[in-house]
Structure 1
Amino acid sequence: MVQPDRNTRWTSERGTRPVRIANCSGYKADPGYHMRFQAELGDVDFITGDYLAEVNIAENAQAHAAGQHPGWEQTCWDGIEQTVDLLAEKRIKIVVNGGAHNPKGLAEKVQELVSGKGLDLKVAYVSGDNLIEEMKDIRSKGLPPHLDSDNGEVQYANHTLDLMEKENKPIVSANVYLGAREIVKGLEEGADIIITGRVADASPVIGAAWYWYSWSDTDYDRLAGALIAGHLIECSGYVTGSNFAGFTEYDLDELYDITFGIADVERDGTCVITKHDARKGFVTEDTVKCQFLYELQGNIYLNSDVKAILDDVQVQRQEGKNRVRLWGIRGAPPPPTTKLAIFYNAGYQSEIVINATGYGTTEKFDLYERMLRFGLKRLGIHDQFDVLEFQRIGIPEPNPRSQLRSTSYLRIFAESGDPKINLGLASLLGEFAMQHFSGFHATSDHRTAIPRPYISYYPAIYPQSDLKTSINILEPSKSVAATRTTNIPTTPPPKFEELAKRASYDTTSPIPLEQFGLTKPARIGDVVLARSGDKGANANIGFFIPTSLPSSYPPSSPLYAQSWDWLRSFLTIAKLKEMMGESWDDAFHVERVEFPGIMAVHFVVYGVLGRGVSGSSRLDSFAKGMGDWLRDVVVEVPVIFLDGRKKNKTERQRL
């Protein structure tokens, strides 16, 4: 049987219908079969994958430099190896950032696979994101500006500038976040598989849509829409039921082994988020809102190619199952700088966990902390730690029904520049092994008390006009040694726009809270959903009124609009600080905006994660649990909203 020309679909259909872009990964751990699923379970035009996070970029860099890592993510290669025949058969193009520190190496390996199978697929890779050589001599050139340097309200966490101020902090990786320009050029040159290093998470989706419609690089509204489409599907199954605050109202067996999201991007940049019907997971207005609110910087979302202005965002379920439209995004020229993630060897970390059970837990942990601090002072090292924290995790259940319910733990977290300091702390575990509170026990043999090297994060900005980027097209070859490459330099965006001061405000025209009637103490999560995440040292949290849960108010109900009036009036900056309780510190800074089209209040809390990523002492160093913690805080909630939610859920269950 004669196969049709594999380019027919692209020449006849490109730009005439919405482009269908499926995502197969949001982190290095996503198995390769997710790429294959997106290819085999239905029709798509592109498959994109985000395999890189700050942590694994840094880990890869050290291992790659030592010859102990290929410089690319194995799961990305697994996906391509499983999917490559389907790519040729179904004429699907791939754009993935699994190249990490060695996109050339992965591209050459893929080219060898393609050539060995005799497939008509063109492979390319992006270069220019790796600035390790430029950053090695920062002591003579100076440290690039911090990511939050333009925000005068922000106080940097302790040790943020250690990279410059202290000796022996060698840089191990420095990667800028590239946009979509190199991807677009590669697609224009006929590439079918493009391997990138550190591009922004949404850049592969922007590049796919940009190429499909032949947009210009000043079609800012369209590019901004594609940016948010990419943001919605970039995180594995986060838009199809994973990490979803409303999961408690769903069958738990529908919330794992799910397939990932797909964005149907239209010519004007608006999108419909969906998934393949096969396999589990779901797309609702609420899963889309949750993911929209994830890791935002406020009402402006930045990318190297465009700024997305989010104030007027709208979300609405479409006809058919698992189809939700998002629109209302406006665009503007990008900033003159892009994000630069610098990681450096910062010193040594230790972590000790001990348990206490039941009676007198507070006093038990008081005793243990006093004893260790006494020992550290006697050794003369108490004040030589960069970080030394005694974190109390959990509260024993009153009248406990089991010992586990009565147990909580003390987490002792230490960082220093000298492993001998950490070893001094570890030595006290033996010295005071038989001097402890009643019922003392531990979950391990304290192996983590032994100091281990750690890498810390410095988020910076870097001028886009100084970058030297290119797309590299490989010529077919069965041998890496015989592979020839065509290098095509790319240029920065034609226009930049300086960043204005970020918007921050409490609601306009607040409704007096007494107008909502009687209240009673309840968890705020009983009436709102939330999603939180990290941006380096900062956390973001978005709260919104759900619309698609079994207990949600129908849009025709007066409670639907009233609940938004209550949320925006109630959840002020001052109220968030109050809800954070003992976790609030006056060194933090809060910004607040609203998205009335999706009934959401959004906060950024600067500094709450310390230095962020692997340098953070926080148990939840990526702020993934912050939204669920705050949903559990008890506040005064109007009775009409609580009763309304219960009534709706009961009626829908009856139906």
Structure 2
Amino acid sequence: MRTIRIGAGSGFSGDRIEPAVELAEHGGLQYLVFECLAERTIALAQLARRRDPEGGYDPLLAARMRAVLPACRRQGIRIVTNMGAANPLAAARRVAQVARDLGLAGLRVAAVTGDDVTDRLRGTETMLDEGGTVAALGNRLVSANAYIGAAPIAEALAAGAEVVVTGRVADPALFLGPLMREFGWAEDDWTRLGRGTLVGHLLECAGQVTGGYFADPGFKDVPDLARLGFPLAEVDEAGEAIITKVPGSGGRVTPATCTEQLLYEVHDPARYLQPDVAADFSGVRMEPLGEDAVRVSGAGGAPRTGMLKVSVGCHEGWFGEGQISYAGPGAVVRGRLALEVVRERLRLIGHEAEEMRFELVGLDSILGPAEGAAEPREVRLRVAGRCASPEEAERIGHEVDSLYLNGPASGGGVAKSVREVIGIRSCLIPEAEARPQINWVEA
């Protein structure tokens, strides 16, 4: 039975580049997929595009393409990625420019657009899952991007695209598109679409399934994390797959690593709702095939719902932060005094914030205070708040900075920052409201 090999070149926007090069050069791939887009990432990309009409795509796009395009062109590996973020067409032009710089003339790049439904939803009474309507967001609305499916990716590949750049598509669809194109799966072949979605779901977080996020020393040991290899899948025409990695790379692939990834972000394993299919993972089987290879089978699918999830970005104010460290005898006591000083100072100057946090990192910043715990030799004070204006947010860091000479003894290493806060909401729209299009660019 015919098979193809698909590799995962990244699992998030800031991921490593070297494992993707390793896959391109030694993975025996037909496709290399870069999944780089989170809910908040695309809202921030929309802000970047507002500042620069040619911006709004992944900042590592050019670096990744420079690293892998030569090997991919030489070996006939096609690339699929959502690094287009808020501006797939500009991203496609950038890929073409990189190809020209590398002397790779004639590279065909397709940009899939149509996921941006901001203008279509603005001012409508579309209900948000968190309550309220899109209209109620008013001028706070930053972006609205629908999770579109695999069909336009498959179409672009069938038309000869060597690189497909998308905006917001469902993560598994990046992998499902090549499978639909290669094996001719119909858009209503629910069983195979469900199986292809399983493959995409297992690969979409890259190093997570080869042991990265899995690793826990003494409980779940993973070798050579500094050279963690990214996963690839060998998939047959029926949609069954073997998950593995490049021999000799770091990490490991086991039924346990695959099972952890299988459960990631899945609420109902029997109905994992995607734009292409309602995937059924409830009967999935994991079978080890020697070292670093797992056969996955048993997925199914049912007709898609006809609705698309939309990630809605909205302005939530400004985030101000200040940090300072205390070390040595009495570090915790001095840190607590410093927190009270900053708290009182902000009250005295009439500081306004919608929410605030006062904490000592290493003592109570994540799990809260622990009774009877040994006190650390060093702590990091952190004061953070969300404010209506950047000026109010800036005052937080200023008061922490002033602890250098006006607070407890021996504070050091102040850091302060102000940044815009983008909140993420979600809603559903009929799939007909998103109108994917394929745009062509050639190097």
- The alpha carbon displacement at 1:356 in A equals 5.1
Q: Kindly provide the CA deviation profile for residues 133-175 of structure 1, in whole angstroms up to 9, marking residues without a partner as x.
A: 334x42xx23x332456xxxxxxxxxxx698657752x33322
**Number of the residue aligned with 1:447:** 416
Task: Indicate the residue corresponding to 2:423 in structure 1.
Answer: 456
The one-letter code matched in structure 2 to 1:216 is: A
How far apart in 2 are the matches of 1:367 and 1:278? 52
Pairing of 1:205-224 with structure 2 (within 5 A): 205-224=175-194
Report the Cα distance in structure 2 between the residues aligned to 1:472 and 1:24, rounded to whole angstroms: 23
SS at match of 1:73: coil
Q: Are positions 1:127 and 2:113 aligned together? A: yes
The answer to whether 1:465 aligns with 2:432 is: yes
Structure 1 match to 2:367: none
Percentage of pairs with the same residue: 27
Larger radius of gyration: 1
AA at the equivalent of 2:311? A
Q: 1:113 and 1:433 mapped to 2: Cα distance?
A: 48
Question: Which one of 149, 170, 186 corresponds to residue 156 of structure 2?
Answer: 186
1:173 paired to 2:140 = no
Cα deviation, residue 260, structure 1: 0.7
SS at match of 1:457: strand
Q: How does 1:216-295 map to 2 (within 5 A)?
A: 216-248=186-218, 254-295=224-265
- Give, in angstroms, the shift of residue 304 of structure 1: 0.6
Letter in structure 2 aligned against 1:389 = R
**Alignment partner, residue 98 of structure 1:** 83
| 1:424 Cα deviation from its structure 2 partner | 4.5
Q: CA contact under 8 A between 1:200 and 1:303: conserved in structure 2? A: yes
For 2:52, which of 67, 79, 104 is the aligned residue? 67
Given that residues 51 and 76 in structure 1 are in contact (C-alpha distance below 8 angstroms), is that contact kept between their aligned partners in structure 2? no
Shift of 1:364: 5.7
Aligned partner of 2:354 in structure 1 is 386
1:365-444 residue pairs with structure 2 within 5 A? 367-381=337-351, 384-395=352-363, 405-426=376-397, 428-429=399-400, 436=407, 441-444=411-414
The structure with more strand, counted as a fraction of residues: 2
Per-residue CA distance 1:595-633 (angstroms, 9 max, x = gap) = xxxxxxxxxxxxxxxxxxxxxxxxxxxxxxxxxxxxxxx
Unaligned stretches of 5+ in structure 2? Answer: 365-369
Which among 32, 37, 45 is matched to residue 52 of structure 1? 37
Partner of 2:10, secondary structure, is coil
Question: 1:181: Cα distance to partner?
Answer: 0.9
- CA offsets 1:40-99 (integer angstroms, 9 cap, x no match): 103122111112223332333222322286333353333333433433432322211122
Q: CA distance change for structure 1 residues 197 and 25 in 2, over 3 Å: closer, same or farther? A: same
Contact 1:241 1:247 in 2 (8 A): no
Alpha-carbon distance between aligned partners in 1 of 2:225 and 2:413, rounded to the nearest angstrom: 30
Point out the more displaced range, 240-249 or 194-203: 240-249
**What residue number does 2:128 align with?**
146
Q: Would the aligned equivalents of 2:36 and 2:83 in 1 still touch at CA under 8 Å?
A: yes
C-alpha displacement at 1:452, in angstroms? 3.2
Once residues 356 and 21 of structure 2 are traced to their aligned partners in structure 1, the CA distance between those partners, rounded to angstroms, is 46
1:304-327: per-residue Cα shift (whole Å, max 9, x none)? 111122323321202x32110222
- Cα 1:349–1:331 shift into 2, 3 Å: same
Query: CA-to-partner distance for each residue in 1:19-49, whole Å, 9 max, x for gaps?
Result: 2111111122235444332221031221111
**Cα distance in structure 2, aligned partners of 1:92 and 1:427:** 52
One-letter identity of the residue aligned with 1:127 = T
Q: Go from structure 1 to structure 2 and tell me whether the alpha carbon gap of 1:220 and 1:167 turns closer, same or farther (over 3 Å shift).
A: closer
Q: Does the aligned pair in 2 maintain the 1:93–1:192 contact within 8 Å?
A: yes
CA separation of 1:168 and 1:90: change in aligned 2, threshold 3 A? closer
Q: Which amino acid aligns with 1:242?
A: G
Aligned-partner residue type, residue 61 of structure 1: Q
Q: What is the identity, as a one-letter code, of the residue corresponding to 2:142?
A: V
| Structure 1 SS opposite 2:238 | coil
CA distance in 1, matches of 2:340, 2:239: 59
Greater relative contact order, per chain length (Cα 8 Å cut-off, separation 6+): 2
Q: How many angstroms does 1:464 deviate by? A: 1.1
CA contact (8 A) 1:33 1:79 kept: no
Alpha carbons of 1:32 and 1:42: their partners in 2 closer, same or farther (altered >3 Å)? same
**Matching residue of 1:603:** none
How far has the Cα of 1:295 moved from its partner?
2.7
Contact between 2:309 and 2:429, CA under 8 Å: does it hold in 1? yes
| Residue number in structure 2 paired with 1:616 | none
Q: Could you tell me how far 1:429 is from its partner in structure 2?
A: 4.2
**1: distance between equivalents of 2:292 and 2:222?**
18
- Distance in 2 (alpha carbons) for counterparts of 1:22 and 1:91: 14
Query: Is 1:303–2:274 an aligned residue pair?
Result: yes
Count of matched residue positions in the alignment of Structure 1 and Structure 2: 435
